[in-house]
Amino acid sequence: MGRKRLMRSSIIILVALFIGINTVCAASAMESPISSITPVNNLNKSSSVLGLLNHSVVYNGNGSTGGSVPIDNSIDYNGATVIVLGTLAQPKPVALALVAPKLGVAVPVLYYHLVDDNLWSPFHSMFMSPSDFANQMKYLKTAGYTVIPLAQIENAGQYTKPVIITFDDGYEDNYTNAYPVLKEYNFPATVFLISSFIGRTHYLTGQEILQMRDLVSFQDHTVTHRSLATLSPAVQENELSASKQVIEALTGQKVFAAAYPDGSYDQTTIEIAKQLGYKYAFLMVPGGIYYTGENPYIIKRINVVRGMDMNDFIDKLDGLST
Ligand SMILES: [Zn+2]
């Protein structure tokens, strides 16, 4: 775990001369383009780093193509941890590297869908058994976790063993089966709503949403739940803006976070989310622990699925498995 934590946050791209390592020829902020680099390993002149994900550095290249590089290889350089992305032979020898001077705080973000033993859809893994859900909440309490509101994610270091609870899609059982358990422990949670599904069969009604507001923050899961990366920028924008307006009008609360349907996003999605005022956006896969200071627009979560036993649940919370 120490090895992982060492690599987190405050990412700066450096293009350092590989021959004569003390000569740094360029340094730029996280999203500035990399200049004077011949394309290698899917990197190109316009590449920028998207963030750290699944113990890898994720970068984009042409359009949505890009890649990721494991961050296991690191060196100490002038007091900072430098993660070597790769070396480029042309036009002159360089190493493309990241610097991670600060340590982040681990924030497991759990995500659920349905909490019901009535398996009314074919996707059974999405149905958490209410009894298992209750046991998981009990474990968080007894193990000394602090369940924090989503809005506190970047302040997680102020809490003992912070953890965040989220639900995707806005199913009605979140009100009938999960909310009473959350009330029992006074655990805050977040539900990502599909705005056009509110009030449909199996989905939360407006009245139920209003009743849950004392503990539950309602955030955005788009208008129609289509995979954003497959949509044009204009449609992506509508999916993230029209839903935001509907949810804010219903709840009277600010919408500042989104979960990408099916975890689908591209760099355009991130730019749109930023422009619309979103502060955070959440993934589905790959799963894992979020560390404060990582890219807040690709926040990893832990998928809690039907049948997961308590040891697996604990391992995921501890970052021992994804
Ligand atoms: Zn969903």
Q: pLDDT digits over 191-201, tens only?
A: 999 999 999 99
Is 96 a residue whose pLDDT tops 60?
A: no
pLDDT of residue 207: 98
The number of beta carbons lying within 10 Å of the beta carbon of residue 252 is 9
CA–centroid distance, residue 78 to ligand 1 (Å): 44
Q: For residue 71, report the distance from its CA to the centre of ligand 1, in Å.
A: 30
The number of residues making up the chain comes to 322
Average pLDDT, stretch 42-52?
60
Query: What is the 243 CA–ligand 1 centroid distance (Å)?
Result: 14
Higher-pLDDT residue of 217, 292:
217
Mean pLDDT is highest, among 17-21, 46-50, 189-193, for: 189-193
Average pLDDT, integer, range 17-22: 24
Residue 161 C-alpha to ligand 1 middle, in angstroms?
Answer: 27
pLDDT given for residue 86 in this prediction:
55
Cβ-based neighbour number of residue 130 at 10 Å: 18
pLDDT 10s digits, 256-308:
999 999 999 999 999 999 999 999 999 998 788 898 888 999 999 999 999 99
pLDDT of 50: 67
Q: Has residue 90 got a pLDDT over 70?
A: no
- Gap from CA of 174 to ligand 1 centroid (Å): 14
Give the distance (Å) from ligand 1 centre to CA of residue 286.
Answer: 15
Q: Cα(17)–Cα(253) distance, rounded to whole angstroms?
A: 50
Percent of the residues in the chain that have a pLDDT greater than 90, as a whole number: 62
Ligand 1: centre distance to CA 279 (Å): 19
Non-local (6+) Cβ contacts of 318 within 8 A are none
Residue ranges of E strands in the chain: 12-17, 24-28, 49-53, 56-60, 66-70, 74-77, 80-88, 94-99, 106-107, 109-112, 114-115, 127-128, 146-147, 162-169, 189-193, 216-220, 257-259, 280-282, 290-291, 302-303
Going from the Cα of 241 to the center of ligand 1, the distance in angstroms, rounded, reads 17
pLDDT, mean over the chain: 80
CB atoms within 10 A of CB 121: 13
Q: What are the residue ranges of CATH 3.20.20.370 in the chain?
A: 106-317
Cα 168 to ligand 1 centroid, rounded to whole Å: 5
**CB-CB neighbours of 75 under 10 Å:** 12
Q: How many A from CA of 40 to the centre of ligand 1? A: 36
In this prediction, residues 73-90 reach a mean pLDDT of: 54
CA–centroid distance, 254 to ligand 1, in Å, is 20
Enumerate residues 6+ apart whose C-beta is below 8 A from 136.
110, 304, 310, 313
Q: How far does the centroid of ligand 1 lie from the alpha carbon of residue 242, in Å?
A: 17
**So what's the architecture of 106-317 in CATH?**
Alpha-Beta Barrel (3.20)
Per-residue confidence (pLDDT) for residue 319, from 0 to 100: 80
* Residue whose entry in the numeric block shows the structure tokens 């990582």: 294
226 CA distance to ligand 1 centroid (A)?
9
C-alpha 112 – ligand 1 centre gap (Å)? 10
